[in-house]
Amino acid sequence: MARPERRRARMCRSALITALVARRAGSTKSWSRNVCTDPARDRAAPRRSVVVTEQYPKGLGRTLPELRVLLDDAPALEKTAFSACGAAGFAERLRELDAAPVILTGVEAHVCVLLTALDLLGRGVRVSVVADAVCSRRSASMDLGLAQARQAGAVITSTETVVFQLSAVRTPEAFREISKLLK
């Protein structure tokens, strides 16, 4: 088993992959309300490489502008496959980033997020799914999607855990400051 400092060092090369943040997706509202619209939480998260995908934007719409800003205005990769791995340029972008692990967030935890996780795991990529940064239209679907991702080998984690894993918190003052932002 890797020592904690080695695991933290590997997290520093992580990439945040956000799957389907489309304007017309019914569950986007709850996802954005819970995850993306809290400026304090956004400030607490260390900046990492961000890859955004959009599921069929011609039919479902583009990512909401207020979310795009929080996603570093990363250009969105359009996809018609449910897995982000099916988006043109996705594999190349991950290679460019040399990202390990991949941190997944987004909507439809039991479809787009799950299928992306399964494809990445099948390619030998370490995957973390942020449970409080994904959603589905039905809570039972989300629970099943997270359970299946875990059974396949993904780490199921929380926003707060990821923030602290990625942060270089070395002093009690820094810890208190980040803790205040996450409340």
The predicted structure's pLDDT at residue 26: 45
Report how far Cα 62 is from the mean position of its chain's Cα atoms. 18
> Among 58-62, 134-138, 143-147, 165-169, which range has the highest average pLDDT?
143-147
Residue 20 CA, distance from chain mean position: 11
Q: Give dist(CA 52, CA 65) in Å, integer.
A: 13
How far is C-alpha 3 from the geometric centre of its chain's CA atoms? 24
> What is the pLDDT confidence band of residue 13, given thresholds at 50, 70 and 90?
low
Average confidence (pLDDT) over 38-44: 45
User: What is the predicted pLDDT for the residue at 54?
Assistant: 85
What does residue 133 show for φ and ψ, rounded to 5 degrees?
Answer: -125, 20
The pLDDT of residue 88 is 93
Cβ within 8 Å of residue 16, ≥6 positions away: 48, 49, 50, 51, 103, 105
Would you give the DSSP letter of residue 171?
S
CB count within 10 Å of CB 84 equals 31
Cβ atoms of residues 62 and 76 within 8 Å? yes
4-182 fold: Rossmann fold (3.40.50)
Predicted TM-score (pTM) of the model is 0.77
Q: Are 166 and 14 in contact (CB under 8 A)?
A: yes
Which residues, in sequence order, are bridge partners of residue 15? 49, 102
Residue 144 has pLDDT above 60, yes or no: yes
| pLDDT of 176 | 82
**How many Å separate Cα 175 from the centre of its chain?**
23
Name the residue with tokens 């400026």: 39
